[in-house]
Amino acid sequence: MTRRRIPVSALIGLLFTGGFVFIALFAPWLAPHPNSVVVGDVWAPASAQHWLGTDNIGRDLLSRMIHGTRVTLTIAGLATALSFGVGSVLGFVAAVVGGWLDQLLSRGVDLLMAIPTLIFALVVLSVLPTTITVLVLVVGTLDATRVFRLSRALAADINVMDYVEAARLRGEKTPWIVFSEILPNALTPLVSELGLRFIFAVLFLSALSFIGLGVQPPDADWGNMVKENKEGIVFGIPAALIPAGAIAVLTISVNLMADWVLNRTTDLKGGRGA
């Protein structure tokens, strides 16, 4: 079987996303300076020694960007994994089992979704300590509500197919129906949603860090780097724009990949499309 060529837009997406992941994995070896050591003047311009210049207290901006990539991608990645693990399984179970369990889960999710996510996070994070674990849990739980909605809708569609009825008549238990009958058929839309949810996690984390409730100094992450350097913009210092730009580039490149995955839906073997 010959593979269809990967479109240029997806290649660009793959290249940039791959680059970010590479940087995150090898951050300590790639960064020329330590993360939180003052090495130069405040807001020094780009030079041979500091490729991107320095930040508001004189730390190397490139090094902080590299370390920040690691922190941002780790938290967003774990939060997305958590939201998909919890959201999709609960969504499938709600659709398959139905009845009071479905009501309980669905109304619970409605309750969570009724509260604006940022406000919800504000309340939780002002009580709990802001550690990476808590951040992952908060972002992951809030995202899980969206994944739950999607998975439940997908599973409700698949659940009425004759092959699921056939499995039920055979006497199969809920885990088999969820993981063997429903999951493989819901996978493609879920995978494309995965990309989008990951980006929302990055944006949400950045927003939290920007208002000071996310990653705490001196650790670097893209959101709090924008926050630390935002005053510089008034004086024409572009330091805040670099992490902001990184957020934008990651968002676009992951979306390009998600689009490609979605378009490939129909060519998967045994796929549902024509």
* Interface contacts to another protein, rule CB under 8 A: 1-4, 161-163, 165-166, 168-172, 180-181, 184-185, 266-272
Nearer to another protein, 11 or 97 (CB): 97
Q: How far is the CB of 2 from another protein (least distance, A)?
A: 6
Name 186's Cβ contacts closer than 8 Å, sequence gap at least 6. Answer: 88, 92, 151, 154, 155, 158
Return the number of the residue (185 or 255) whose C-beta is nearest another protein: 185
The three-point CA angle 46-48-50 to 5° equals 50
Q: Is the dihedral of CA 206, 148, 24, 6 positive or negative?
A: negative
**Shortest distance in whole angstroms from residue 272 CB to another protein:** 6
Query: CB of residue 271 vs another protein: minimum separation in angstroms?
Result: 7
The dihedrals phi and psi of 203, each to the nearest 5 degrees, come to -65, -40
The CA distance from 116 to 109, in Å, is 13
Q: Residues 139-156, buried b or exposed e (16+ Cβ, 10 A)? A: bbbbbbbbbbbbbbebbb
The one-character DSSP state at 214 is S
Q: 218: cis peptide before it, omega within 30°?
A: yes
Cβ 171 to another protein, closest distance in Å? 4
Closest CB to another protein among residues 47, 180: 180
Closer residue to another protein in complex, CB, 150/167: 167
Shortest Å, Cβ 170 to another protein: 6
Nearer to another protein, 47 or 174 (CB): 174
